[in-house]
Structure 1
Amino acid sequence: MLYPDQPFPVLTERLRRLEDLRFDHVYLPDHSADLRDPRHTWFDSWTVLATAALSTERIRIGTLVANQILRAPAQLAKQAIALDHLSGGRFELGIGAGIFPWDHHSVGELPWSPRERVQRFADYVAIVDGVLRGGAFSHAGTRLWARDVITVPGSRQSPRLPITVGGQSPTLVRVAAERADAWNTHGPPGATAEEVLRITAEQNTRIDRLASAAGRDPADIRRGYTIFGPWDPRAGRHGYEEIFERFGEAGVTEFVLDWPGERHAEEFERVAREVIPALRGD
């Protein structure tokens, strides 16, 4: 996970460094300002992703997660398609329900209730999914609709570029099971480390059950954990090896690490060079 909080030459150097370290993906968040402090530097993530597409060759790029508050679904899909072509078919679209009031304020809206966010989300992902496949698409939803959206070309990847659903609510987990190629969580905010682990395992099991009910093979849905909060190794309580082992036992197949900062750069590189290749079986 790379934040767009540095000058572009620094961001470009970091993108190339992540590729040199053989990470599989680099993701950017999608907010109108820095979620840690809105007064900090914060560039538009989609512009940084275009830079990533042009300055790297192998690493896959994407959003984690695109924000339904900020972008209409059909236009989000067309942005993703453009980056899929620009990157040579390396783009993955993570989508989330959004939460921060300042994102609403930036587009001239009062914040939605949690119920409104999740009710919009099912329609939102359905529209994105349909538009990504190209051609003409319409959707009549309970909260959102689209009519005769023409998309030429569609995704470079077939049948469309991959979608990740990020979030923990029952509705988002259901949408992930029914439509997504991957699900990502950082666990419920405020939960203890053991609670995050237990809830992640329970949600993984629920995705298996819901995917089967929808006629999908649960094994087709990748499961990701963004290392966060009580499990963050930079807090000194848990190491990467423990996280990979324990969440792997809970059904997680992918892990998202933050850019480390200077204090933790040596440990970050050790994990990239020694621990992750062993997990991959390289």
Structure 2
Amino acid sequence: MTRLGYQIPNFTYPDTNSSGLFKAISRQAIEADAAGFDTVLVMDHFYQLPMLGAPENAMLECYTVLAALAQHTERVRLGALVTGNTYRNPTLLAKTVTALDVVSQGRAQLGIGAGWYELEHDSLGFEFGTFTDRFERLEEALQIIIGMLRGERPTLAGKWYQVNDAVNSPAPVGQIPIMIGGAGEKKTLRMVAQYADESNLLCGIDDIPRKLAALDEHCARLGRVRAEISVSYQISACIAPTKEQAEREYADAITHIPQLEARRPSVVLGGPDEVAEAAAKAIEHGVDGFTVNLPANGHIEGRVALLGETLAPLLA
């Protein structure tokens, strides 16, 4: 599973319109493929998130992008960080991820979560519901999707979904790993213990031990071998050859995306030494790997490669 994943969360770049956008995206994935990353991920949203820009900023549908990136990469796995379960019927999602696995020759993974961005749902007509509704839907969806991806023909008469002898043909090239994103200790990490191959944590770095302890408890209660589950930790960074250059590039990004100013305290900003130091602390807390994004400067040629060269040795 993910040891070093590169996430692309931002599609708003200076002097880049729709005609040049995919070239800027694919260049990042190509750099990641050559620089020690094992996974490339994109967000599954239709509006940009409030901490990364305005709702009307560019946002591409993730599975279309991933299928295209499969044709420009050779080694990395490809997935969403993470799919919003509320946006697709689970049978459609199973078929979509399977198609990605086929066109990438076995490099798809499924990252999934309950969904949370209410504005996006209300504006585009996706049912949002309550917190409890969304987690009930996710659990039913996982039963359907995992069955279809594993070659079963699931039938479910659930509260939210009804399927009957659901067929998934062609089958995936190999077994598609399941990642569940989120850090909720009662619901999310229990679902990780029950259904997933990987947990992707988004939390404060000092909260990692408590999250891992909660996952351990769920595994023990459910009879799951904890060692079967890998844990990755999400980091936002701005890396450049020097800390001063990274600071300049982040300041430049704020002129195009003012919302990045508020996000700055949570971004690891600096040269290779500063970024490596922050990542090493997460490893000390017990995670198995990282998913890292560069929201301010990932589009600058060479930055993804520098990130991979900096972090890959920590995980060797």
Q: Same fold (TM over 0.5)?
A: yes
Partner of 1:102: 119
Residues 141, 161 of structure 2: 8 Å contact kept: yes
Q: Which amino acid aligns with 2:277?
A: E
Summarize the Cα distance change of 1:131–1:10 in structure 2 as closer, same or farther, 3 Å threshold: same
Partner of 1:190: none
The equivalences for 1:262-281 within 5 A come to 262=297, 269-273=305-309, 275-281=310-316
2: CA distance, partners of 1:103 / 1:235: 33
* Runs of at least 5 residues in structure 2 that lack an aligned partner in the other structure: 1-6, 13-20, 237-262
Q: CA deviation at 1:207?
A: 1.2
Q: Which amino acid aligns with 2:23?
A: P
Residues 4, 48 of structure 1: 8 Å contact kept: no
Partner of 2:102: 85
- Alpha-carbon RMSD across the aligned residues, in angstroms, is 2.4
Choose the corresponding residue for 2:205, options 193, 197, 202. 197
Partner of 2:17: none
Summarize the Cα distance change of 1:248–1:141 in structure 2 as closer, same or farther, 3 Å threshold: farther
Partner of 1:21: 35
Q: CA deviation at 1:45?
A: 1.3
Number of residue pairs aligned between Structure 1 and Structure 2: 269
Q: CA deviation at 1:143?
A: 3.6
Q: CA deviation at 1:131?
A: 1.4
Overall identity of the aligned pairs, in %: 29
| 1:56-91 residue CA offsets vs partner (Å, 9 max, x unmatched) | 111111111001121111111110000011111111
Residues 77, 128 of structure 1: 8 Å contact kept: yes
The normalised TM-score by structure 2 is 0.78
| 1:190-216 residue CA offsets vs partner (Å, 9 max, x unmatched) | xxxxxx234321121121222233232
Matched, 1:12 2:26: yes
1: CA distance, partners of 2:226 / 2:200: 15
1: CA distance, partners of 2:155 / 2:142: 13
Q: CA deviation at 1:167?
A: 1.0
SS state at 1:150 partner: coil
2: CA distance, partners of 1:264 / 1:79: 27
Residues 22, 59 of structure 1: 8 Å contact kept: no
Residues 190, 218 of structure 2: 8 Å contact kept: yes
Q: CA deviation at 1:23?
A: 1.0
Partner of 1:162: 177
Q: Which amino acid aligns with 1:3?
A: P
1: CA distance, partners of 2:232 / 2:298: 26
| 1:24-76 residue CA offsets vs partner (Å, 9 max, x unmatched) | 11101101111131211222111110111111111111111001121111111
Residues 21, 269 of structure 1: 8 Å contact kept: yes
Residues 269, 275 of structure 2: 8 Å contact kept: no
1: CA distance, partners of 2:303 / 2:268: 10
The equivalences for 1:181-196 within 5 A come to 181-187=197-203, 196=204
The normalised TM-score by structure 1 is 0.86
The equivalences for 1:136-151 within 5 A come to 136-151=153-168
Q: CA deviation at 1:264?
A: 9.9
| 1:101-152 residue CA offsets vs partner (Å, 9 max, x unmatched) | 2331255245322222122221122221111112421123344332211111
Residues 50, 86 of structure 1: 8 Å contact kept: yes
SS state at 1:148 partner: coil
**More displaced 10-residue stretch of structure 1: 263-272 or 207-216:** 263-272
Q: Which has the higher contact order (CA 8 A, sep 6+)?
A: 2
Partner of 1:68: 85
* Runs of at least 5 residues in structure 1 that lack an aligned partner in the other structure: 188-195
2: CA distance, partners of 1:268 / 1:82: 27
